[in-house]
Amino acid sequence: MADKYWFDQSLDDFKASINTEDTLDRPLIGLTIDWKVTKSGPDGKKVLSHPEYLVKLYVELIEQAGGKCYIIGFDEPLESYREKLDGLVIGGGRDIHPMHYGEKINGSMVPQESEDRWEAVKEMYYGLPKSCPLFGICWGLQFFNVIQGGSLVQDIQDKVAHNCKRKVSFKPDSWFAKTCGTELTGLCIHHQVISRAGRNIEAVGLDDHSNYIHAIEVREEGRFIIGTQFHPECSYRNEWFREIDPRNLKMMRGFVEKCTEYKRSRINHNLDHWHG
């Protein structure tokens, strides 16, 4: 991500403006974001920066789709939000270390914070209730694939063709096709893609240039996990807020509906427990 998107201002202040109390009874959807160390303070303490501008695009998409966004801080313990969330969106970011799929660095650009983010999201993946819906975007899709034993192409040769708008076609029987149609236009910003699909990973969307996997559904009983290699948060409208393809918003609305179902199931479970 370009330097202009990184900010040194307090994440706590930014979170406080987003993580406000909701009076509309919408599903609360966690958002986990990338971060980097920009410098060290006078006392030697590391200063962390977050891509606030890009995060706002995720927030807007989630809330336009009917959800309430909850930004998860860099060091926020799982216990502080585990029982709050009705869903989780794992946003884009920088490369996963290839040691997690048994390879050495050969094109990956691995920042010093890469392992910290991997461990934090891994804890969420295994620590949130199994039935909590998960949506991985770009890095998030790659995380799902790698945590399930898959691998990545570390540096695709035709990078220019994957930093632009691309048509993505979905399998007719997939959740994506049933939710937003058999194809859409998605904005791609990546230099890595899935190479070997992991366990229970079903490739349900391919791009129109290289036939790389651009959408997945994880087939595990009791779980709802989806991922896109493209970025729906800047594909339903661009950064100048001109419409690109509203089917991306329809996709997120479908995910929010899944989160609403999960929210209702949790409420019903708690009521049954209370009356029991």
Give the pLDDT band (50/70/90) at residue 4. low
Residue whose C-alpha is closest to residue 58's, from 27, 34, 91:
91
As beta bridge partners, residue 30 has: 70, 88
- What are the E-state strand segments in 111-269? 134-137, 152-153, 165-170, 183-187, 193-194, 201-207, 213-218, 225-228
Whether the predicted pLDDT of 80 surpasses 90: yes
Tens of pLDDT, residue by residue over 210-266, are 999 999 999 999 999 999 999 999 888 765 556 679 999 999 999 999 999 999 998
C-alpha span between 161 and 157 (Å, rounded): 9
Q: How far apart are alpha carbons 230 and 213 in whole angstroms?
A: 10
User: Of the candidates 124, 160, 163, which has an alpha carbon nearest to the alpha carbon of residue 144?
Assistant: 124
C-alpha to C-alpha distances, 221 to 48, 58, 125, 199, nearest whole angstrom: 38, 28, 15, 13
pLDDT band of 269, cuts 50, 70, 90: low
Q: Per residue in 25-43, is it b (16+ CB within 10 Å) or e — as a string?
A: ebbbbbbbbbbbeeeeeee
Mean pLDDT of 261-274: 76
pLDDT of residue 123: 97
> What's the mean pLDDT when you consider all of the chain?
90
pLDDT > 90? residue 160: no
- The pLDDT > 90 percentage for the chain reads 71
Query: Looking at this protein, which amino acid is placed at residue 256?
Result: V
Report yes or no on whether pTM surpasses 0.85: yes
What mean pLDDT do residues 269-273 have? Answer: 58
CATH number of 3-15+27-275: 3.40.50.880
The percentage of the chain sitting over the pLDDT mark of 70, rounded to a whole number, equals 90
User: 30-44, 161-175, 234-248 — which is least confidently predicted?
Assistant: 234-248
Q: What is the mean pLDDT of residues 191-203?
A: 97
Residue bearing the bigger pLDDT, 2 or 130? 130
Q: 3-state secondary structure string, 27-52?
A: CEEEEECCCEEEEECCCCCEEEEECH
